[in-house]
């Protein structure tokens, strides 16, 4: 989408913090690097996978943060790191003001009650030998939430009702349910311990399209009913847009853009986000024409050997030799006029975000093999030619 055609205009500037709401999750400089080991007798560390490599993020109480990006960019690792299911290489995660990386043993286990996970594949995350009753009771017992049999029975039935399943489901086993019903059980299990935060990792991508919307709607209803905060990880832009208040776009272990969901979809500013959006069909042909197309060239580079400077420079149609290859851009606030008072600041990690948005910097072709790039100043609106490969992020309507 071109800036001229939008209500929003872009310039440099720092707008400071967004709305003054309670920050439930405060992530600073988070890194998760996995060692690559080689050797027959002695394991030698020969390198690292930089799965998460410097993320700052705030999730406010009661909101839904949608995290999108290509497969392998580190979304799941980030979600797991929030819940302390991965060891942090660097950085901190404060949950409700408490530094949870410093918690150990029983204190961490008790804190985990507040942070639950919903997985992509409910069948593999539910023990097939346990009845639904036993699956739901497990967490409640572990956190001392089962006072007596009668109260537990009432709570189990309430949980099933909340996720739209009948009480008879308690005596059944996971294989007796459809994919959508199993995901409802996965959600009930997360809810059973009364959490504050739910990290939902691709919660609907294993489900039929017809069932996806029902589960997304259920998540929204439950959020309202129980005052939940969500981090929803998805490669599907439609799911993220539908459910999220704020969206973060991830590329090779870092955030490249973050904004209110509507602002991000209306005016994507980072070249990578633009490419992801280009893969999303827009029903309005005028909008489709206006926004131009930016196709992603080449594959995602290996997170074990990320490009220097801006990590997107090997695929970026706006890459400039002066800074892009050597200087890693910070995620910084970009001033957008037309921004509502309660909107989050729009943040972008690109040295040239303003010039790209106002059209003073023209895109050029990218060699998908990662070789020489060609300046193409005569093609400021749409980029075609040797650009290959659709973005892996898809939209379902």
Ligand X SMILES: Nc1ncnc2c1ncn2[C@@H]1O[C@H](COP(=O)(O)OP(=O)(O)OP(=O)(O)O)[C@@H](O)[C@H]1O
Give the footprint of ligand SF4 on this chain (CB under 6 A): 271, 310, 312-313, 316, 318-320, 324, 329, 350-352
User: In 3D, which of 65, 95, 389, 24 has the Cα closest to residue 234?
Assistant: 65
Q: With respect to Mg ion, which residue has the nearer C-beta, 76 or 373?
A: 76
Q: Which does 200 bind (CB under 5 to 8 A by kind): Mg ion, ligand SF4, ligand X, none?
A: none
How far is residue 300 from each of residues 27, 232, 271, 296, 337, measured CA to CA in Å?
25, 22, 14, 9, 33
Q: Is the dihedral of CA 120, 126, 131, 137 positive or negative?
A: negative
Cβ at position 73, least distance to ligand X in Å: 4
Measured from the CB of residue 254, what is the shortest distance to ligand SF4 in angstroms? 11
For Mg ion, which is the closer residue by CB, 76 or 273?
76
Residue 82 touching ligand X (CB under 6 A): no
- Residue 353's nearest CA partner among 261, 273, 280, 240 is 273
Task: Please state, in angstroms and rounded to a whole number, the distance separating the CA atoms of residues 340 and 322.
Answer: 35
Per CB under 6 A, contacts with ligand X among 291-330 are 303
59 binds, among ligand X, ligand SF4, Mg ion, none (CB under 5 to 8 A by kind): none
237 or 263: whose CB is closer to Mg ion?
Answer: 237
Minimal distance in Å, beta carbon 172 to ligand X?
Answer: 29
Residue 318 site contact among Mg ion, ligand SF4, ligand X, none (CB < 5 to 8 Å, cut-off depends on kind): ligand SF4
| Span interacting with ligand X, options 6-14, 72-80, 276-284, 323-331, rule CB under 6 A | 72-80
Which one of ligand SF4, ligand X, Mg ion, none is in contact with 50 (Cβ closer than 5 to 8 A by kind)? none
Q: How far is CA 271 from the centre of its chain?
A: 18
Residue number, 254 or 316, with CB nearest to ligand SF4:
316
Q: For residue 326, which of 301, 354, 351, 303 has the smallest C-alpha distance?
A: 351
Where residue 334 falls (left for φ over 0; alpha for ψ -120 to 50; beta otherwise) is beta
Instruction: Return the closest-CA partner of residue 291 out of 265, 313, 316.
Output: 265
Query: Is 253 or 271 the residue whose CB approaches ligand X more closely?
Result: 253
The three-state secondary structure class of 252 is coil
H-helix or E-strand spanning residue 93: strand 90-95
With contact defined as beta carbons under 8 Å apart, do 156 and 137 qualify? yes
Per partner kind, with CB cut-offs from 5 to 8 A, the member of ligand SF4, ligand X, Mg ion, none near residue 313 is ligand SF4
Choose which of 1, 59, 73, 393 interacts with ligand X (CB under 6 A): 73
Map residues 56-85 to x or -, x wherever contact with Mg ion holds by CB under 5 A: --------------------x---------
| Gap between the Cα atoms of 376 and 165, Å rounded | 58
At residue 287, the 3 state secondary structure works out as helix
71 binds ligand X (CB under 6 A): yes
CB 355, CB 336: distance < 8 Å: no
In the bound complex, what is the minimum distance in angstroms from residue 140's beta carbon to ligand X?
29
Helical pair 179-191 and 209-226, crossing angle rounded to 10 deg: 20
x/- letters, 30..69, toward ligand X (CB under 6 A): ----x--------------x-x-----------------x
252 touches 74 (CB < 8 A)? yes
State the residues that interact with ligand X by CB under 6 A.
34, 49, 51, 69, 71-77, 235, 303
State the residues that interact with Mg ion by CB under 5 A.
76
């Amino acid at each position: 989408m071109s800036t001229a055609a939008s209500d929003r205009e872009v310039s440099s500037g720092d707008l400071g913090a967004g709305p003054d709401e309670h920050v439930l999750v405060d992530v600073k400089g988070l890194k998760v690097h996995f060692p690559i080991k080689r050797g027959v007798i002695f394991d030698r560390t020969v390198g690292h996978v930089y799965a998460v490599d410097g993320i700052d993020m705030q999730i406010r109480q009661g909101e839904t943060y949608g995290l999108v990006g290509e497969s392998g960019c580190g979304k799941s690792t980030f979600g797991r790191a929030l819940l302390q299911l991965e060891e942090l290489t660097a950085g901190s995660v404060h949950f409700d003001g408490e530094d949870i990386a410093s918690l150990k043993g029983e204190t961490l286990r008790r804190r985990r009650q507040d942070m639950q996970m919903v997985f992509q594949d409910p069948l593999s995350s539910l023990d097939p030998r346990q009845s639904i009753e036993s699956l739901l009771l497990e967490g409640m017992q572990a956190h001392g939430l089962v006072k007596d049999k009668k109260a537990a029975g009432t709570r189990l039935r309430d949980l099933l009702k909340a996720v739209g399943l009948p009480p008879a489901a308690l005596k059944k086993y996971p294989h007796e349910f459809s994919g959508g019903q199993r995901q409802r059980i996965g959600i009930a299990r997360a809810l059973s311990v009364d959490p504050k935060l739910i990290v939902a990792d691709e919660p609907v991508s294993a489900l039929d399209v017809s069932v996806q919307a029902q589960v997304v709607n259920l998540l929204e209803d439950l959020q309202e009913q129980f005052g939940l905060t969500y981090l929803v990880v998805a490669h599907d832009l439609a799911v993220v847009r539908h459910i999220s208040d704020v969206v973060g776009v991830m590329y090779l272990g870092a955030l490249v853009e973050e904004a209110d969901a509507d602002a991000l979809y209306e005016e994507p500013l980072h070249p990578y986000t633009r490419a992801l959006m280009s893969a999303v069909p827009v029903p309005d042909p005028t909008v489709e024409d206006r926004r131009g197309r930016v196709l992603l060239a080449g594959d995602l580079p290996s997170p074990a050997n990320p490009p220097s400077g801006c990590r997107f420079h090997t695929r970026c149609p706006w890459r400039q030799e002066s800074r892009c290859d050597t200087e890693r851009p910070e995620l910084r606030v970009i001033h957008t006029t037309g921004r509502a008072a309660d909107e989050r600041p729009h943040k972008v990690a690109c040295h040239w975000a303003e010039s790209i948005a106002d059209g003073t910097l023209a895109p050029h072709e990218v060699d998908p093999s990662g070789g020489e790039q060609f300046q193409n100043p005569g093609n400021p609106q749409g980029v075609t030619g040797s650009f290959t490969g659709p973005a892996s992020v898809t939209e379902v309507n």
